[in-house]
Amino acid sequence: MKKGVKWFLLILALLLVFFVSLFLGRYMVSPARVVQILADAIRGNLSGGIEESVVLNIRLPRLLLTLLVGAGMAASGAAFQGIFQNPLVSPDVLGVSSGAALGAVIGIMIAGTGPLAMLLSMLAGIGSVILTYAFSKVRGQSTALSLILAGMIVQALMNALVSLVKYTADPYSKLPQITYWLMGSFSSASYKDVALVALPIGGSLLVLFLLRWRMNILSLGDEEAAALGVNPGRIRVIIIAASTLISASSVMIAGIIGWVGLVIPHVVRMMFGVDHQELIPASMVSGAIYLTLIDLIARSATEAEIPIGILTAIVGAPFFAVLFKRTGGADQ
């Protein structure tokens, strides 16, 4: 199948998922009514009914947030797998998710779920990656391998501290809040949340998009990259910084959502190949589609909403196992 046809089908799937997510759910709104509501919103002719509120004030901001987070996580996963030359790397390999989780649970302990928890989550996520980078330079030079190993250390430390905070939390008030937040959810999404993460995630996606051809060079190895006139250390730091900002913003706004950055780049690589010129933008679109579909299931499958982090693991782990078996463990 030609790449032009693949892109057409991918964009068509994105538009279809976008539209279906607006009318499908526990409170059904007919497709025709959704179109009418959107047209009325553009014309500024809204009546303020229940259906308008469901579509415009509940589903639309949630949909925009899932699109942003899904695109960001998938693109950062594809970027990490390229620059570290390891198909098993995911965006949280440097400890950003664990660090952001620690910041959030400390914030919840102090003041509950709110601005403080979000701020501490962002700062702790970024701080964890800075700590990882500092650990990786113990021998004076940071390499891809030393970064991964340092990330494992920081991730284990942050996970242990999260467990410690949960152990000391009030089991009747704070612990349920912490537990639910850690499982991930878009249930409280609002336009304020969209505005909060649009710039860091959108700006970081633009950076990854502009640097995608350099990822092809980094995937050859540091020596080959240096021979071609590219500073591998500097480019890797920029890509890590952009991916860290995406991951920290995502965890801050929706909790921990795994597997998207690991599974989606593999699927896209099977469709478009290993060239990051195609891989990065295709991962963005595919990640947005995937997370939106998972969120649709999370809020529609049962009367009580299922935490999205649980669903991404339930769907992602078996899918990755099948993918691994089909490819024989080889990167595509």
Query: SS3 string of 293-321?
Result: HHHHHHHHCCCCCCCHHHHHHHHHHHHHH
Exposed (0-12), middle (13-18) or buried (19+): which is 213, by Cβ within 10 Å? exposed
> Predicted confidence band at 34 (pLDDT cuts at 50, 70, 90)?
very high
CB count, 10 Å around CB of 243?
30
Q: Residue 249: is its pLDDT beyond 90?
A: yes
Residues 265, 74: contact at Cβ < 8 Å?
Answer: yes
Secondary structure letter of residue 230 according to DSSP: -
pLDDT one-digit tens code per residue, 7-26: 999 999 999 999 999 998 88
Q: Residue 230: is its pLDDT beyond 80?
A: no
d(CA 307, CA 231): 42
Secondary structure letter of residue 331 according to DSSP: -
* Phi (first) and psi of residue 313, to 5 degrees: -75, -40
Cα 237 to Cα 70, 106, 123, 129, distances in angstroms: 22, 28, 18, 11
pLDDT one-digit tens code per residue, 111-137: 877 788 889 999 999 999 999 988 888
pLDDT one-digit tens code per residue, 41-90: 888 888 878 999 999 999 999 999 999 999 999 999 999 988 887 777 88
Q: Which two tokens stand for residue 73?
A: 């996580």
Q: Residue 205: is its pLDDT beyond 80?
A: yes
d(CA 86, CA 78): 10
Secondary structure letter of residue 58 according to DSSP: I
pLDDT for the residue 167: 92
**Residue of 73, 10, 75, 4 whose CA lies nearest to 280:** 75
d(CA 221, CA 85): 8
Specify the higher pLDDT residue, 117 or 139: 117
Q: What residue has token string 């899904």?
A: 70
∠ Cα 85 8 207 (to 5°): 40
Specify the higher pLDDT residue, 287 or 1: 287
**Residue of 171, 187, 207, 238 whose CA lies nearest to 66:** 187
Contacts of 294 (CB under 8 A, 6+ apart): 308, 311, 312, 315
Q: Residue 279: is its pLDDT beyond 90?
A: yes
What mean pLDDT comes out for the span 249-254?
92
Cα 119 to Cα 156, 258, 314, distances in angstroms: 22, 21, 29
